């Protein structure tokens, strides 16, 4: 029987982060969980495609846009389960054990991982706590936390929307809080944008964008304010 899990990674000029992301998948290979790793490149001008290919990943080319790239990866995937993962996120070593347990016992539910920033800043711990509380209480994890979902449930909710922003929020809204679990394994994501812009400034800007979206603003309009 083929391994059940397709890993789908949208990427754009991700050469700096992708090696760590791919290396973190090794426990899944060792456990026999991973059928394929698909890196969906949105037109990189760096070594992203070469890095993915040399690591044994399948490279799918797509127009730029995370929602569009995620959809393209799902369309190419052959597994009965999908794990959507950002290129600047690396999973903790226990991810495969947690994912396997979820897949074996909760086939009708999706899952995300616990958020962790690759930073020693005190503000990183503050934001992790805030984000993980939001994920558990509201069923709204960040896209940085990954999304583990069966092919059947992905199809049921209509997959990722082809939008320039908020594709992660839209799909977990479709899944619903009652069908979403937060796993104890960590999604250790890059802190580069927070370190560049300031932890509190960027956190509150992201929160304002989410609030505007929940109040009805269109992703296309919100994308003009995001970088």
Counting every residue, how long is the chain? 227
226 belongs to a structural domain: no
70-109 residues labelled b (16+ CB within 10 A) or e (exposed): bbbbbeebebbbbbbbbbbbbbbeebbbbbbebbeeeeeb
At 48 the pLDDT is 98
Say how far apart CA 27 and CA 167 lie, in whole Å. Answer: 28
Q: What is the pTM of this model?
A: 0.96
DSSP 8-state code for residue 197: H
Q: Is 215 a member of any domain?
A: no
**34 and 9 in contact (C-beta within 8 Å)?**
no
Cβ atoms within 10 A of the Cβ of 220, count? Answer: 11
Say which CATH number the domain at 120 has. 3.90.550.10
Q: Judge whether residue 140 has pLDDT over 80.
A: yes
> What number is the average pLDDT over the span 13-35?
97
**Could you read off the pLDDT of 102-115 as tens digits, one per residue?**
999 999 999 999 99
Identify whether 9 is part of a domain. yes
Of 225 and 185, the one with more pLDDT = 185
The CA-to-CA distance between both ends of the chain, in Å, stands at 43
Q: How far apart are CA 155 and CA 71, in angstroms?
A: 11
User: Is position 181 within any domain?
Assistant: yes
In a domain, 177, yes or no: yes
Boundaries of domain holding 104: 5-192
Q: Quick one: pLDDT at residue 57?
A: 98
Whether 109 is in a domain gets the answer yes
Count CB atoms within 10 A of the CB of residue 133: 10
Q: What is the pLDDT of residue 227?
A: 64
pLDDT tier for residue 1 given thresholds of 50, 70 and 90: confident
Residue 203 forms part of a structural domain: no
Q: How many domains does the chain have?
A: 1
217 within a domain of the structure (yes/no) = no
40-52 mean pLDDT: 97
How far, in Å, CA of 138 to CA of 69, rounded? 26
- Quick: pLDDT tens for 167-224: 999 999 999 999 999 999 999 999 999 999 999 999 999 999 999 999 999 998 888 8
């Amino acid at each position: 029987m083929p391994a059940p899990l397709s890993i789908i990674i949208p990427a754009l000029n991700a050469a700096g982060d992708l090696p760590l992301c791919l290396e973190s998948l090794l426990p899944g290979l060792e456990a026999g969980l991973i059928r394929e790793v698909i890196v969906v490149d949105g037109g990189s001008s760096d070594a992203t495609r070469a890095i993915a290919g040399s690591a044994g990943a399948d490279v799918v080319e797509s127009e730029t846009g995370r929602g569009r790239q995620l959809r393209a990866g799902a369309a190419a995937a052959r597994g009965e389960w999908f794990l959507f993962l950002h290129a600047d996120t690396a999973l903790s070593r226990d991810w495969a054990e947690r994912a396997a347990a979820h897949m074996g016992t909760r086939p009708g539910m999706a899952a995300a991982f616990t958020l962790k920033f690759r930073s020693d800043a005190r503000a990183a711990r503050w934001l992790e706590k805030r984000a993980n509380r939001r994920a558990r209480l509201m069923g709204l994890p960040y896209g940085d936390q990954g999304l583990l979902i069966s092919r059947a449930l992905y199809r049921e909710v209509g997959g990722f929307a082809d939008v320039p922003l908020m594709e992660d929020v839209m799909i977990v809204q479709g899944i619903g809080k009652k069908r979403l679990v937060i796993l104890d394994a960590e999604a250790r994501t890059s802190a580069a944008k927070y370190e560049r812009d300031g932890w509190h400034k960027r956190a509150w800007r992201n929160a304002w964008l989410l609030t505007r979206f929940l109040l009805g603003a269109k992703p296309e309009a919100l994308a003009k304010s995001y970088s």
